Structure 1
Amino acid sequence: MKQRLLKLFPHIGLLVTLLSISCSNSSNSIKMKGSDTEVNLAVNLAEQFTEQDPTFSIAISGGGSGLGITSLLNGQADIANSSRPLSEEERQQFKEKKIALKTVVFAEDATAFVVHKDLPIAEIDVETLAKILSGEVRNWSELTDVNYPINIYGRQSSSGTHTFIKKKLAIEFSNTAKEMTGNAQIIEGVKADKTGIGYVGAGYVAHDPLASQGIKVLKIIEKKGEKAVSPLDEAAINQGSYFFQRPLYQFILAESWDKVRPFIAFERSAIGRKLIEDHGYYILDSQQDEI
């Protein structure tokens, strides 16, 4: 069967990648939606999987963790990729609709904070970072020798990464923060703005050399006086030493589990694990599934 990779742009900033084959067997057709943090990895996993088993058709789109979870609720997806756990409200919605889910934790991610390559700063502590993102600190002159107003590049509220950062820092984001649709838009914004700071999936930066050109990944100090830790330090991630690390989830409709199971098994194979690690993510032995 002929396999083809199509790229569609339904609206500005949202990239939808559709991996499909000419196959009429709907029992082997999987729809996966959600986290932009995971979407590039998901596409590559699907490509490799369908090369091994061309009877499968896998459609993949991003749009944020919240969109993926909503798609499950509305019956528009089999798998929701999510960079955050379900909220209590979402759990209640699934319960009310009597929709059973299975949860797979397939990787560990680290969120990286990036600035322009020429900004004279290499590390930042969590307390100061919270003040920047909440708008309390508004100028780089409070931290460096340059007098630049700080521009914040973040994600929309539907993003799991947005929610993750907000909860980790216990803040409300500044109302001046720019809301971007994904990692690529944040990176491009910071590259073009010497005053900018943004947050992206560390795997996105680590996997794509072009993405890391023109920007600097800040090391994070959890508490003043402690050692600064990089989100690109694999040993630190495996030790749980990086403040902004988190599990990556796949929420799967229980009724879709039988057809999805071969793909999940591929993710856990040697090939799948290598792909996950090549994208800059980490596989921790302590991860457990709730299935």
Structure 2
Amino acid sequence: MQKDCNLETLAQSVITKIKHYLVVSLGRTAEDAYDEEFYRSFVWALREEIMVNWAATDHAFNDQKVRKVHYLSMEYMPGRQLTNNITNISATDIVQCVLKKMNRPWERIVNIEHDIGIGNGGLGRLASCLLDSLATQEYPAMGYGLRYQYGIFEQKISHGVQIERPDNWLLIDNPWEVRRDFRAVPVQYRGQLSENTNEHGDSVYNLSSHQEVRAIPYDYPIIGYKPSSTFSVITLRLWSTKESPRNFSLQCYNAGELGNAAENTSLTDVLYPNDNHEMGKRVRLKQEFLLVSA
């Protein structure tokens, strides 16, 4: 973050932006805003410089016409973006000054944000570390995954017994993500493949009687660490089938086939469904096909 002016001036600039977003986006003032509303406006204020660097990084890669690394993983564990991003843009002192002036405890604001729930093991953490490193080293890269609604679980102990409950990390809007409907892509399942010949004598293949799922991308900025104003930002793109009404089969629903009606809508519900039964095997295979196809 820019530090060519003093800390007080920078802090006051961020405070002005927070108050602006509270009023114009949420219809609240700094005095009566709930912590959740303050958190959202706080992120929007910090995100301004991040978005500028995000666009600049992408534009620089395109201008240089460099090859890009495309990394695919079924899971990621990036942690809480607020704390990571504040560290990576070297804004810790400014943020502490802002929160002190606005009488908002750091711990209370940080704990509003959920961990991004799209992984539950070493594979996810390794994938996120790789993206962090690529961004820090300014490599032209992009990550791809699935936006699971329940990617991890909460562990409770009741009467000495472990109970697993889904962790709905999307319960509140994530102000870091950017939904890009115009980049949604169709993914086709099943169907019948037929071969024909065009006027040039080449084989042409057509798929009919297939299912089509609409995958919607959500982009997240992955910020490289750099103690200056020009940090690199690469993209983690997560695909979701949950938000598209086209993925819900009204015909199956009206026929009483409720499970089949929501099968494609629920493809990104849970990370790694249990595959000790036929439905679990099918959903896992469809998830993998969704990621590589989208």
User: Same-fold call, TM > 0.5?
Assistant: no
User: Which entry has the higher C-alpha Rg, 1 or 2?
Assistant: 2
Higher relative contact order (CA 8 A, sep 6+): 1
When the two structures are superposed, what TM-score results if normalisation uses the length of structure 1?
0.24
Q: Which has the higher helix share?
A: 2
Q: Which has the higher strand share?
A: 1
